Each structure stands twice: as structure tokens, then as C-alpha cells.
Amino acid sequence: MSVLVGQPAPVFEANAVIDNQIVENFSLSSYLGAKYVLFFFYPKDFTFVCPTELHAFQDHLAEFEKRNVAVVGCSTDTEMSHWGWLQVPRAKGGIEGVTYPIVADTNKTISAAYDVLVGSYDLDEYGNLEAEGELIAYRGLFLIDKQGIVQHQLVNNLPLGRSIKEALRMVDALQHFEEYGEVCPMDWEQGREAMQATHESTAAYLANKS
């Protein structure tokens, strides 16, 4: 598993569904210099754990927007599959009401670039292409700053849902550090006391941000 923290987030262009509209050539680069991005992968449309996560992000979307964070989802399903799932009511297992972008990683190159793809392609002894694994995405989550650098990543196995509370906490911690230069200890939450940073690498980071 690649560690992308501290590196530029992989760039891409792909079709997406945004508030029930199919959009071509969507890219995270549209947020550069303007917004933080919470980019998350989920395994499949029309499943069980996935809608609980997509709805949770929607239910807390105002909290992310208040922090100047764009929420973007992604799976290896097509944009038409995303659109179809958006037509299904929440009570029936659908994601009706989700308005943030959902990217269609149909050719699986985005999941591969973020190293969250379950499985891989290979050639058999006769030179025929074969797939190992499901070729869907793990539950990856990447917090990307306004300069396009990954500051936090989390990857869960398929059965394990994530925590919205923890995602918001990481946003708060990053923004607190950027504003005050204070580092955030274990279980730090907004409003609690942080710690003064004295390490040279921290000073260099802040200098590069200014």
C-alpha cells in the first residue's frame, strides 16, 4: 500500500454525477488554491455499508463546507450506475439526496493511482489477460490541502465503515496546525489545548505554506 501523505494527490479527469447531473471531465484540480478536499472511495453501488457512509457525508456536508472542505466520493461503478442509485430512496437502500460529486472510476485507473484497488491484472502462461481479485476499491479516504498535497489517508477493508467524526477531527487538526503552528496530540478535538511545535521540519512546513 502506497503512502501518499506529503505527496501531491494523483490527478485525473473522469465522468461524475453531481446533484443528479452527469458531468464530464471532472477533476479535483478545480479545487486547487480554493478548497480542501475530502476524497473517499467506496466499494460498490447498490450495497449495504456503502450507503450508510454516503448518507453520513451528506448529512454532515454543511460541517465540511463550513470548514471550506469539498467532499468527493468515488467507486469503480459507471456514472450511469451512480445516477441510477441516486434515484432510489434512502429507505429502500438508495442514495437519493446526495449532492456532492461521485466520480466514476470505470477504468479503475483512479483507484490504482491512489493504491486502493482490490486485486490486479496479470498475464497467464499463454499471454492472456486475467484479473486477480474483485477490482473494486477499498474504503480509502484522503484529506488533501488547498495546495493539492495529501495530509491524511485512511484505508479500511471492505466490511469496515468509517467515522465521520474522525474525518472532521482530522480536518480541524490540519486547519488548527496551519493557522496556529501548534501540533495536535492524541484524541485532540477543536477547542482543546494543542502543543507548541519546535521541530525544524514543522517550521519548514509552515514556511512553505506562507
The 3-state secondary structure of 96-144 reads CCCCCCEEECCCCHHHHHCCCECCEEEECCCCCEEEECCCCECEEEEEE
Residue 42: strand, helix, or coil: coil
Q: Cell numbers for 168, please give them.
A: 472532521
Q: Which residue in 9, 14, 50, 72 is the catalytic one?
A: 50
Instruction: Please check whether residue 66 is in contact with residue 190, taking contact to mean a CB–CB distance below 8 angstroms.
Output: no
Decide if 50 is catalytic: yes
CA 84 to CA 186: how far, in whole Å? 41
Catalytic positions, written as ranges: 50
